Structure 1
Amino acid sequence: MCLITFNWRNHHRYKLILVANRDEFFGRPTAPLHQWENGVYAGKDLKGGGTWMGLHPSGKFAALTNYRDLDNLKEQPISRGKLVKDFLESDMAPKEYLERVKVKKDDYDGFNLLVGDGEQLWYYSNYAPSVEMVLPGLHGLSNALLDVPWKKVVDGKRRLAKQIQLGGLSMKDLAAVQYSQVEDKPENLPKTGVTIEVEQALSAAFIRDIQGYGTVNVSVLLWGVDGEVRFLEQQVNKNGIISSEEKLSFFMT
């Protein structure tokens, strides 16, 4: 994932309301959202073997974004998608898991990791000093630290708040929160190791094809206080058009 906007334990009906865009090379082999043999609900990165976001019906949730720092990439890093996969397959509590990840933080390129169990949600980045609990409320996460006010993070939080206020919680209405292709002004852009032209293109929430790279799917997750989960994943082609979608509904045990 490269943009996650979410409302955590701040709604009478839902523990988690989340909308996310995954930005990736269009040619990277990927399986769409499905239930794995081990029970996990997620898409799968068929190259690295992990995933960017998923849930286990035992009550676990995890999601990942890359921390973009292309000037400091590792020579032989472990695939970051395994951080999500390993938590969903583990029996560890969220904070315990992240403390263990912290010990091995230098084995990975830059990442942001959210892990939760329905009662607590925790966050860690290998660019942050410590593991921290996510407080109830509205949050945004892109390719910098949690709630760093990049334009697409601020705008995404505003649009999600508006949808919640209006009661517009249909899956497709929520997906539209992340459809914006508006870019930030050059003078506001961070320096993450790419050219200014690419940096500006990456500043949009929904990224059109940039040399084979862009938004490849949009996901919506609604986790009810009653345990019901509704999960939507829309696949996006190189033309920026939604080509197919997967919907799943299940209950946490």
Structure 2
Amino acid sequence: MCITFFKTARSSLDKYKLILLNNRDEHLLRPTREMHWHDGILSGVDEQDHARGTWTGINRNGRIGMMLSITQTQESKIPNAPSRGGIVNSFLNAHNTSDMVESLLIMAGIYNGFQLVCLEQNQFGLYEVRTLTNQQVENIEVCQWNDEYHVISNSPPSKPYQKAVYGKQLFSERLQYSDEMTVDEVFETLLEIAVNRKQCYPDAQLQFQTRNTHEYNRPLSAIFIKYPEGTREYGTRCHTLITIDQNNKVSVLERRYLPLESTWKDARFEFSINGN
């Protein structure tokens, strides 16, 4: 499971071109390297997967890719399906992202459930949003979204989990005056959203996709996932926060959980897109 929130500017008059929050939900002990620069990409790295991919990454041009799984039962998964782990890196490194996404579209059916979220600046310097979802949709296609506020989890945007519906309301309310906020104030607000534990349950879409028990599903229905002690070593283990202002200054904060130390650790990055 994962959930991502982002706000895209409507015009150059907005203070921030982009405000983004991503929660990564994963097995707590899955080997993962902290966010760092590698091959022109700033991201964490999933060290268990042979593709050494990521869930959220940004490159020097300000292009952002995010990978969210589409929740499915174990029985419905394709045995020996190719890894989804490297898809974000492929998008971030692509010379032509449209060609890359179209190629992925052709091959999408061979993967287990995924949702790729693509964020790129257009000729006016504003961020455009595309998604490609390969399950729980009538047609596998590239979709473009023009909303200002977006919240996407592990179901298609057209079939949102209840926590995504709740999260979008919370996100839009808390950031409606973001033009008046400093980066640190934006990050403080995003972190408050990131640790929200309200369980949005029952959830028919979540139940349909998991086909599991209420005890299993209830923790998954919150923005911040935490199972009762001793029941399941799975939950929210990383928050990624990004702001990009109208001068193309990028600020990034990763807050990740260190399970062996039972503590959280921050890493902060700042850079300018294209070195400007």
Above 0.5 in TM-score?
yes
Unaligned runs of 5+ in 1: none
- Corresponding residue for residue 19 of structure 2: 17
Residues 1-253 of structure 1 aligned to structure 2 (within 5 Å): 2-10=2-10, 12-36=14-38, 38-48=39-49, 49-70=52-73, 71-93=75-97, 95-119=98-122, 120-127=128-135, 128=137, 129=139, 130-146=141-157, 148-167=159-178, 168=181, 169-186=185-202, 188=204, 189-193=206-210, 194-209=212-227, 211-237=232-258, 243-253=264-274
Letter in 1 for 2:63: K
Following superposition, the deviation at residue 174 of structure 1 comes to 1.4
With over 3 angstroms needed to count, the CA separation of the structure-2 counterparts of 1:237 and 1:192, relative to structure 1, is farther
Q: Distance in 2 between matches of 1:187 and 1:18?
A: 25
- Corresponding residue for residue 125 of structure 2: none
Unaligned runs of 5+ in 2: 123-127
CA contact (8 A) 1:115 1:122 kept: yes
Following superposition, the deviation at residue 148 of structure 1 comes to 3.1
CA contact (8 A) 1:63 1:115 kept: yes
Following superposition, the deviation at residue 187 of structure 1 comes to 6.0
Q: Distance in 1 between matches of 2:186 and 2:7?
A: 15
Q: TM-score, normalised by structure 2?
A: 0.84
With over 3 angstroms needed to count, the CA separation of the structure-2 counterparts of 1:4 and 1:220, relative to structure 1, is same
Q: Distance in 1 between matches of 2:66 and 2:176?
A: 25
Q: Mean Cα displacement is larger for which, 3-12 or 45-54?
A: 3-12
1:71-117 deviations in Å (ceiling 9; x for gaps)? 41110122222110111111122x33221111111232101111132
Following superposition, the deviation at residue 10 of structure 1 comes to 3.3
Following superposition, the deviation at residue 138 of structure 1 comes to 0.7
Letter in 2 for 1:135: N
**RMSD value over aligned CA atoms?**
2.1
Aligned length: 251
Q: Distance in 2 between matches of 1:108 and 1:252?
A: 32
Tell me which stretches of 4 or more aligned residues in structure 1 moved more than 6 Å: none
Following superposition, the deviation at residue 223 of structure 1 comes to 1.8
Q: Mean Cα displacement is larger for which, 178-187 or 42-51?
A: 178-187
